[in-house]
Amino acid sequence: MVASEATPFAKTGGLADVMGALPQALNAGGDEVGVVLPRYRGIALEGAQRVYADLTIWLGLAQWKVDIYRTESAGVPYYLVDSPALYDRDGIYGDGDGDYKDNHIRFAVLSQAALAIVRHVWRPDVVHCHDWQAALVPVYIRQLLAADPTFLGLRVLFTIHNLSYQGKFPLEILPEIGMDPRTVSTSALELAGEVNLLKAAIVSADAISTVSEGYAREIQEPELGFALDSFLRARANVLHGILNGVDYGSWSPENDACIAAPYSAGDLAGKQICKHDLLDEVGLPSANMERPLLGIVSRFTNQKGFDLVAEVAGELVAEDLALVALGSGQPEYERMFGDLASAHPDRFAVRVAYDNRLAHKIEAGSDIFLMPSWFEPCGLNQMYSLRYGSVPVVRATGGLDDTIEETTGFKFREYSGAALLETIRTALTAWKDRAAWTSMMRRGMGKDFSWNSSAARYSELYRDLLR
Ligand code: ADP
Ligand code: GLC
């Protein structure tokens, strides 16, 4: 596999959770999976073994020096691509000034390094690439290596975790990713006068998958197709929807080192302790033990539907509820939650941060978990919430619609503040019937979204590709 994030090495969102758990599940099922990842700043090399030194990657006229290190996590080999000029920086994709200007080069080198690993270190049967950062792998194989015996018969599966991040760059960068239009066909890479790496992978990979069945349907329509729907429809016969799983080793209230007390469907007492601890942690008074506590853990982007929260903020504060939000991203949403917290410090709290420990405490300590997403390819937090007995309120889109049922959570379909508000009110009313609410929590806690069955589907897909 090739990707830009994987727990425990580097994480900004759900892709990392998938890359930390799916390979392990596949290996447990008898496959042999290794993961190629940039060695960002902060990824220690102690204990890692250098398996290739001084690899030179040529992209046009520029050469990039790379070392490859092999380390293990949960028994899975991770190949770290070490090139300090490209990856030894504060951020993964960018810093306070926005995305790094050379991201096309940074991830072209990742893709080339993955191909060098295939050539020199370990040749798999299938290369499974994730998102635009690994999108050049199938393009290089098709355009540059088609006659190279090492790559004969090698198949490429490309997984889309989010169609809205496409890796778009001006056409002038083509030579900088080793695809000079004067010497090689670049039409696969071009769309609407730009380089579009996601589109290039969609047309070049042997098969495509995305992270829920619902999203696999949605991205073939204009509404959520982000201008790539026609390319996806053209490949409908090799486009698969495979739901992500949950790593219950990291996300279970029975056994979570981050939370104040363990609990389970059979013994829920610890959940109240967790709620109290969460209130303490974010500085909300204990009086909130008596009202429903809503939790949010999210990247603050348009995708996640916080414009709907902003739309009905005035009505929300009038309800008898408390709310804790953890996230960071677009300034308007950081400000919106910040304003709510300063105006109502007794009931609203926000932490603008990335904080894994607090993310676990919110899953455990809240009564209701809010995900009003505009679109959601899969979404992991709603599945974590089910396991922690924090009843999800979600918009019925993509993976949220596929994983939340009327009996385990609350859904609304229309993308409007009014629909969100009505659904939150329904949940608040339901919360008051403690017996019915507890049954709903228990039903959610009993759902099983472990990786086994999804990993088996990937495994089958790899085998189909090789037939
Ligand atoms: P996405 O990948 O679109 O961000 P997912 O629901 O698939 O959404 O996954 C998000 C993951 O990132 C979850 O593991 C969630 O707990 C984590 N996460 C998101 N924001 C934060 C944050 N501010 N602090 C800690 N963890 C976060
Ligand atoms: C993306 C999507 C999210 C999905 C995650 C892992 O970040 O936004 O819905 O769960 O990838 O596949």
**pLDDT tens-digit series, residues 205-226:** 999 999 999 999 999 999 999 9
Which pLDDT band holds residue 96 (cuts at 50, 70, 90)?
Answer: confident
Ligand 1 environment, Cβ below 6 A: 13-15, 17, 297-299, 326-328, 353-356, 359, 378-381
18 C-alpha to center of ligand 2: Å? 9
Mean pLDDT for 178-192 is: 97
Which pLDDT band holds residue 390 (cuts at 50, 70, 90)?
Answer: very high
371 Cα nearest atom in ligand 1: 6
Cβ atoms within 10 Å, residue 437: 18
pLDDT of amino acid 205: 98
pLDDT of amino acid 328: 96
381 C-alpha to center of ligand 1: Å? 7
Adjacent-strand bridge partners of 63: 58
Task: Kindly write down the DSSP assignment for every residue of 49-95, as one continuous string.
Answer: EEEEEEEEEEETTEEEEEEEEEEEETTEEEEEEE-HHHH-SS-SSEE
Q: In the chain, pLDDT over 70 holds for what percent of residues?
A: 100
Nearest alpha carbon, ligand 1 atom 13: 14
161 Cα nearest atom in ligand 2: 11
Question: Hey, which of 11, 19, 281, 298 would you mutate to test ligand 1's pocket, going by the most ligand atoms within 8 Å of its Cβ?
Answer: 298
Nearest alpha carbon, ligand 1 atom 17: 13
Average pLDDT over all residues of the chain: 98
Please say if the pLDDT value at position 281 is more than 90. Answer: yes
26 C-alpha to center of ligand 2: Å? 19
Please say if the pLDDT value at position 337 is more than 90. Answer: yes
Nearest alpha carbon, ligand 1 atom 9: 14
- Residues in Cβ contact with 67 at an 8 Å cutoff, skipping those fewer than 6 apart: 50, 52, 53, 54, 55, 82, 83
Model pLDDT for residues 70-82, shown as the tens digit of each residue = 999 999 999 999 9
d(CA 467, CA 335): 53
Q: Which ligand is nearest to the CA of 297?
A: 1
303 Cα nearest atom in ligand 2: 8
